[in-house]
Amino acid sequence: MLNRFSPASIRRISTTARCCSDKNEPDLSDPKTLALHKLYRPERITPSKRGIDLLKQPGLNKGMAFSLHERQYLGIHGLLPPAFMTEEQQAYRIITKLRQQPDNLAKYIQLDSLQDRNEKLYYRVLCDNVKELMPIVYTPTVGQACQHFGFIYRNPKGLYVTINDNSISKIYQILANWHTENVRAIVITDGERILGLGDLGTYGIGIPVGKLALYVALAGIRPEWCLPVILDVGTDNTELLNDPFYTGLRRKRVRGPEYDSLVDNFMKAATKRFGRDTLIQFEDFGNQNAYRLLDRYKGEYCMFNDDIQGTAAVVVAGLLASTRVTKKKLSQEKIVFLGAGGAATGVAEMCVRQMMDEGLTEEEACGRIYMVDIEGLITTSRIKSLGERHVKFAKDLPDTKNLLEVVRTVKPGALIGASTVAGAFTEEIIREMAKNNPRPIIFALSNPTSKAECTAETAYRCTNGAVLFASGSPFENVELNGKLYKPGQGNNAYIFPGVALGAVLFAVKNIPDKLFLLAARMVAEAVSEKSLYTYSRVYPRLKDIRELSVKIAVEVGEYCYRHDLATLHPKPDDMEMFIRQNLYSVEYDELINKTYEWPAKDSKHGFPVPVLRRTSMDEE
């Protein structure tokens, strides 16, 4: 079973970052460790493609980094300029050119083009400059790219499954058209709720493409295991329906039984094609479908919804890190949410699970959470109109749409925004939070930055630097009263890469909510004292995510083996080594396998051949 992960082109161990310290390298002087190293390491396979076809394969192409031997052996000598470059030279050339681009969208387009040409170099540049480039390949720039996708579209990056392909067989054929069979992770969207931008239809394909790029860069999941998919069921965005560049079906969104049938058939076709343990991540589905589909599939398939579970975990991680400063357990805090959609409700429910683990009953935990939606504070007077998930959070308080009034009444320790209403956290509200708490917790999580409930500068200024602030999209550092503050980004990238890595490597049956809570606690523990107390940053440094992903994957694996959820057998003797051996390396591989000798007697040419009578030649 372990061999399923071996067909790859690297033999050496891949550490979690290109420049990682030697502490992650196994001690190969130990015979047992050496034996495990040989068992777990991926094996090099000399590519079957040659010549110009090889150069057109982004997973194999090295550009001018091909050696002279490789150029001659693989039939590409003369097809490349005669210079020989190292990967470091190439990366320097790319990042230099990238920084000269006029805006972030131009940078996105350049990186997109690089990914089409040279996969290793793309991920090398991304991993070396993760803090600088993550906002380019994902939020907030990916939102801008999705809005302009019809204009910037160059090459196919994923699969399009439409409502007109609604059968298992038809969808299976589409999946069979993908260029690799060894798919282990699918990110799928229907484009209805792209970030905070709403219905973008098939322009939303940029979301699964960007998400899977982070799978590779931040968790080391191999690109050939990744498949972006968009379900095209139409769009209710009139502007797109009239856009001459629009790339999808020009029809209103299909809903109801026909929509459900398409999603059902996709799940069946995907697992039929790639296996029951294929990870399927749902991304940016509309609120009316997100929770419903998660409940429908999470017990049957290896799947999760990052907007609900990933967001919940990363917000709880930030809250748990903040409790290290406030010196109060999460169960001792009151929390007000502005926004009660899928993401906010998911966060609230995970807060409840954490509070229950700290000793509260479910009723007591729900009593400490207050939710404000578009109709105002969720109260018992609205019970008949509330969804099932909101009823338990309804409070016996007067109805109000005034957030400041809610804050004054409740006196929460934490204020969390998931409303996409820019500026909803006014200066008066922020000052009220500071009045009630020595270290108020304020998370403005709406994406992109233009939709954030408040800016980092406003939060720090109005609390005189006391706030423990986080946002969904990155803000610049803030200098106030001679002190530098580095606002944390509550980015799901702290959570989903590690969970996905563990799910993929250990072939798990399904992904229980508990795994996300465990990941949240690990993220909170990973925040350094310097981050918390010097910079008031409640999340780890972005450059530490890949190492954090390995630790989360180990925890995922251990939990899944304990609860009979892992189907990879036998269980690896050294879980961490197994994970590290299977990480994608951004270093170029040797494409030509080493030759080796046989014993001389077994490789000797010639054997005495008996003299045969040649009838036609011997006749007179």
Which positions are catalytic?
138, 211
The count of C-alpha atoms lying within 13 angstroms of the C-alpha of 185, restricted to the half-sphere facing its C-beta, is: 30
CA nearest 448: which of 138, 169, 131, 181?
Answer: 138
Structure tokens at 299: 């017990």
Q: Do 495 and 515 form a contact (C-beta atoms < 8 A)?
A: no
Distances in Å between the alpha carbon of 333 and those of 324, 351, 354, 368?
13, 10, 12, 7
Distances in Å between the alpha carbon of 336 and those of 333, 345, 433?
10, 12, 11
Beta strands in 378-449 (DSSP E): 414-417, 441-444
β 335-338/369-373 pair status: parallel
The answer to whether the annotation marks 491 as part of a ligand binding site is yes
Q: How big, in percent rounded to 5, are the helix, strand and coil portions of the chain?
A: 50, 10, 40
Tell me how far apart the alpha carbons of residues 283 and 188 are, in angstroms, rounded to a whole number. 6
Tell me how far apart the alpha carbons of residues 184 and 276 are, in angstroms, rounded to a whole number. 10
Please give the distance of CA 47 from its chain centroid, rounded to a whole number: 29
- Coil, strand, or helix at residue 576? helix
Beta strands in 426-467 (DSSP E): 441-444
Tell me how far apart the alpha carbons of residues 53 and 51 are, in angstroms, rounded to a whole number. 5
Q: Do 572 and 521 form a contact (C-beta atoms < 8 A)?
A: no
In Å, the largest CA–CA distance within the chain is 120
Tell me how far apart the alpha carbons of residues 262 and 366 are, in angstroms, rounded to a whole number. 36
CA nearest 312: which of 342, 279, 282, 357?
Answer: 342
β 483-485/478-480 pair status: antiparallel
162 strand-pairing partners: 232
Q: Do 155 and 116 form a contact (C-beta atoms < 8 A)?
A: yes
The answer to whether the annotation marks 284 as part of a ligand binding site is yes
CA nearest 355: which of 385, 326, 331, 322?
Answer: 331
The answer to whether the annotation marks 193 as part of a ligand binding site is yes
Distances in Å between the alpha carbon of 612 and those of 198, 389, 616, 620?
83, 88, 12, 17
Tell me how far apart the alpha carbons of residues 258 and 251 are, in angstroms, rounded to a whole number. 14
Tell me how far apart the alpha carbons of residues 168 and 136 are, in angstroms, rounded to a whole number. 36
Overall residue count recorded for the chain in this entry: 620
Tell me how far apart the alpha carbons of residues 283 and 208 are, in angstroms, rounded to a whole number. 7
Tell me how far apart the alpha carbons of residues 620 and 611 are, in angstroms, rounded to a whole number. 19
Tell me how far apart the alpha carbons of residues 460 and 434 are, in angstroms, rounded to a whole number. 10
* DSSP for 231-246, written as a single string: EE-----HHHHT-TT-
Tell me how far apart the alpha carbons of residues 562 and 565 are, in angstroms, rounded to a whole number. 8
371 strand-pairing partners: 337
Distances in Å between the alpha carbon of 550 and those of 37, 565, 571, 573?
17, 19, 17, 16
Using CB atoms within 10 Å of the CB of residue 80, give its burial: 0 to 12 exposed, 13 to 18 middle, 19+ buried: middle
Extract the annotated binding site for a divalent metal cation.
283-284, 307
Extract the annotated binding site.
193, 283-284, 307, 447, 491
Extract the annotated binding site for (S)-malate.
193, 447, 491
